[in-house]
Amino acid sequence: MNEADSENIAAAFRRRGYALTDEIKKADAVVVNTCTVRQRAEDKAISQIGRLRLWKEKKPEGKLFVVGCAAQKLGEKHLKNRFPFVDEVVGAKAIENFEEALINQYGAAEGETSAHQNMFRSPQTAYVTIMRGCSHKCSYCIVPAVRGPASFIAPEEILKDAREKLAAGAKELVLLGQTVNAYQSGKTTFSELLKKTLALPGLERLRFMSPHPLYFKEDFAPLLAGEKKLARHLHLPAQSGSDRVLKLMRRGYTRAFYLDLLKKLRAAAPGLAVSTDFIVGYPGETEKDFKETLSMVDEAGFSMAYCFKYSPRTDKPEMAADISEAEMSERLERLLAAVKKNSRVILNERIGKIEEVLFESETYGRTSGNFALRVKAGGIPGTVAAVLVTGAEKNTLNGKGVLA
Ligand code: 5AD
Ligand code: SF4
């Protein structure tokens, strides 16, 4: 979501004739888009802002914008007191209205809309935000507080955005939202939105991020089965393998429900790759709870997992971390080892199979399951081709060449 917001902000600057630069010295404006999902992210944002003091001293006419979730949490007053050289603060709840901050600083824009430019993924992949905020309110999570409750963008607006990005050369779209599969706008459900998006000319592949296990409806599995352009990959955060912890987290599902969902979806789409998120050291997590997370890794066959140490996000005493830092680190290491071992197996299972690869260069692309794949030559950037997988190395599949 933050990457998508950053791209939109960059587009707003581009309309005014600005271009991106990697060199801070050259920058006439700097936007720090902040995250606060864990304390470490917030700390990083703060120290980044601190480091910009020097830039501002050397270039007093330069404008510094601090935006996003940490900006929302800390507030304009706090940030401007602490860092008087900050020009504008735009919290996550107002981030779609970033243009207002630009008008504040520079006056009304004269330029016309210019093509969107991808900043984070390959140039052929574009993000399309379909909802903002989250109403799920998992106990550990600050997102609903800083981004506000779920609100869904109208389908016409989403399709217009998608069409524009495809017309500008995108081949792959990633529909974005905190509980993206909870999408509902008027009569348009998530599956209907997927269908409409899949019908757009120029689209080669459709992904979405991140679904919540609770919100898939009955019509999703058949859609996945029938639509080859719908990626054979889901990033489906599990958070824990212990029912007791899942309940405390207010995730709304059990481990059995999650595993059963995987089974159903894999029955519909054989070879479906699933990656996930886990939190270790949730308050009160016992060794037994943690072992259930480890055994879930063995059972679920994840292609990849982001694993995080629990980071308290409120001052509620019952939400404080009560597992020692040492214990948390130890659990994290054990979990990472289990994930690594299992994802190796999943990767190796692809050897000998034929994968549909969307090429980014002549030699590199991504499979529908979101595995990186290399060939010696023959890929045509922006097109999908079949490749026989002949080996796997680290996190990358190797293929002989492109099949006719
Ligand atoms: N502590 C640690 N990890 C967290 N996440 C969200 N909130 C916290 C927290 N307080 C993780 C979840 C989520 C991912 C984006 O960040 O795993 O899926
Ligand atoms: Fe946070 Fe995701 Fe839970 Fe929403 S569904 S509260 S964004 S972890």
pLDDT digits (tens, 9 = 90+) for 63-87: 999 999 999 999 999 999 999 999 9
392 contacts 383 by C-beta, under 8 angstroms: no
**How many degrees, rounded to 5, is the angle at CA 135 between CA 316 and CA 162?**
135
Q: Which ligand is nearest to the CA of 39?
A: 1
Q: What is the pLDDT of residues 324-333, one digit of tens each?
A: 999 999 999 9
Q: Which ligand is nearest to the CA of 321?
A: 1
Q: What is the mean pLDDT of residues 194-198?
A: 98
279 contacts 308 by C-beta, under 8 angstroms: yes
Residue 41 CA to residue 48 CA, distance in Å, equals 11
Per-residue 3-state assignment (H helix, E strand, C coil) for 6-42:
HHHHHHHHHCCCCCCCCCHHHCCEEEEEECCCCHHHH
Q: What is the pLDDT of residues 9-26, one digit of tens each?
A: 999 999 899 999 999 999
Q: What is the mean pLDDT of residues 257-281?
A: 98
Burial of 199 (0-12, 13-18, 19+ CB in 10 A): exposed
pLDDT over 90, % of the chain: 93
CA of 27 to the centre of ligand 2 (A): 35
Q: Which of 115, 127, 125 is nearest to 158 (CA)?
A: 127
Indicate whether residue 250 lines ligand 2 (CB < 6 A): no
Q: Which pTM does this prediction carry? A: 0.96
Indicate whether residue 136 lines ligand 1 (CB < 6 A): no
Pick the atom of ligand 1 nearest to 237's CA. 18
123: confidence class by pLDDT, cuts 50, 70, 90: confident
Question: Is 90 exceeded by the pLDDT of residue 289?
Answer: yes
Q: Which ligand is nearest to the CA of 308?
A: 1
- For residue 359, list its beta bridge partners: 365
CA of 145 to the centre of ligand 2 (A): 10
Q: Which of 226, 225, 302 is nearest to 262 (CA)?
A: 302
70 contacts 34 by C-beta, under 8 angstroms: yes
- For residue 402, list its beta bridge partners: 387
Q: What is the DSSP string of 167-203?
A: HTT--EEEEE-TTGGG-EETTEEHHHHHHHHHTSTT-
Question: Is 80 exceeded by the pLDDT of residue 129?
Answer: yes
Q: What is the pLDDT of residues 366-382, one digit of tens each?
A: 999 999 999 999 999 99
Pick the atom of ligand 1 nearest to 309's CA. 2
